[in-house]
Amino acid sequence: MLVALFLAGSAAAEVKNIGELKDRIAASGPNEQPYYCAEMVRNLVEVADKQYADGNYTGAQDSINEIEKYADLAREATPKTHKLKQAEITLREAARRLEDIGKSLSIIDRPPIAKAVAHLHSVESDLLKRLFSR
């Protein structure tokens, strides 16, 4: 019973964190937006993991779609700043975590994960190119 309450509380904390991040993304300028979008991706990866674990495959697919959406937002609003490097690192870690989640799923459920991982790597590559361009 205590474990169930803890899990429910941590799920509520994730949702609160996602709500806060959505507000910060909307209110942030172009210097901070990539970082907050990358943080959103990281949180959504964990939400998708929990949804897969709970058997909520539709919800997990919705989270995967949002992961791609926020990764694209990070790519679009990317001036050269220190936060851009942090965003790239966070997206790389999120892609790695998503790959791990995909390995725990059945083969039937892996293609959307593989597509999202490839998308995150593409965004990460674009951020690196922008970081090292003159």
Q: What is the pLDDT of residues 8-40, one digit of tens each?
A: 344 444 445 888 999 999 898 888 888 899 999
Contact present, 95 and 124 (Cβ < 8 Å): yes
> Which candidate, 81, 106, 86, 80, places its Cα nearest to that of 36?
86
pTM (2 decimals)?
0.82
Structural domain span for residue 35: 2-132
CA distances from 40 to 54, 62, 106 (A): 21, 14, 26
* DSSP secondary structure letter of residue 109: G
Q: What is the pLDDT of residues 90-129, one digit of tens each?
A: 999 999 999 999 999 999 999 999 999 999 999 999 988 8
* Residue located via tokens 């459920």: 109
Rounded CA separation 64/50 (Å):
12
Q: Which residues contact 83 (CB under 8 A, 6 or more apart)?
A: 31, 32, 34, 35
Question: Cα angle vertex 21, ends 19, 22, to 5°?
Answer: 65
Give the dihedral of Cα atoms 115, 120, 126, 131; nearest 10 deg.
Answer: -170
Indicate if the pLDDT at residue 46 is higher than 60.
Answer: yes
Indicate if the pLDDT at residue 5 is higher than 50.
Answer: no
Number of structural domains (the chain) is: 1
Q: What is the reported pLDDT for 65?
A: 96
